[in-house]
Amino acid sequence: MNKEFPLDYTERKGIVFDVSHVQERNIEVRDIDISQVEKGMFVAFYTGFIENIGYGTKEYFSSHPQLSNQLIEELLKRNISIIGVDFVGARRGKEHTPMDQHCANQGVFIVENLCYLESELENKNTFIVHTYPMNYANMTGLPCRVVAEINS
């Protein structure tokens, strides 16, 4: 989104919120414990969408869940670093790219299409997330590798 991914964002404290129960509406602030969100965090949302619908289907790209504008704004106010979702984007359709840019303008990047977030739900605490984007020119999004570091 015409912004440089800061090197220190490659290692962030992370948390995953289970919002798989939210159906037929936006994911709202009330659906998570916002008090757990800290400055600089990688905040991810597990819906189960990528596993249940399957990446690449027409439904996957057109009917995915989305975060409410209010939830996104609350995350931005808390100065997080990264929003992670297991679906196509924080917002659908025409709102997708402008919201990505809005977040990037405030130093927050959105990582989409995450897999295996459910495995992190068992870890009730926060953990370390490593995010390594690949730098390609003239793209609105960058492929990246995301790895969770779990202390057992």
Q: Is 30 in a helix, a strand, or coil?
A: helix
What is the pLDDT confidence band of residue 140, given thresholds at 50, 70 and 90? Answer: low
Closest among 68, 107, 71, 63 to 87, alpha carbons compared = 63
Tell me what pLDDT residue 24 has.
92
Average of per-residue pLDDT across 77-98:
95
- Say which range, 80-89, 118-127, 139-148, has the weakest mean pLDDT: 118-127
Tell me which residue has tokens 């989104």: 1
Band (pLDDT 50/70/90 cuts) for residue 104 is: very high
Average predicted confidence (pLDDT) for the chain: 90
**Which residue shows structure tokens 């405030």?**
106
Whether 77 has a pLDDT exceeding 90, the answer reads yes
Query: In the CATH scheme, what is the code of domain 7-149?
Result: 3.50.30.50
Q: What percent of the chain has pLDDT over 90?
A: 68
Task: Give the pTM.
Answer: 0.92
Averaged pLDDT, 116-136: 81
Instruction: Give residue 126's pLDDT.
Output: 78
Strand 127-133, strand 11-18: pairing: antiparallel
- Burial (CB < 10 A; 0-12, 13-18, 19+), residue 13, is middle
Indicate the domain borders of the chain: 7-149
Strand partners, 130: 11, 147
Please say if the pLDDT value at position 108 is more than 80. Answer: yes
Write down the H helix ranges in the chain: 49-53, 58-62, 69-77, 96-105, 118-121
Cβ count within 10 A of residue 107: 14
Q: At a CB cut-off of 8 Å and minimum separation 6, what does 56 contact?
A: none
Nearest to 13 by CA among 73, 96, 80, 86: 80
Residue 125 has pLDDT above 80, yes or no: no
pLDDT in tens, 16-70: 999 999 999 999 999 999 999 999 999 999 999 999 898 888 888 889 999 999 9
Residue written as token pair 């790219």: 97
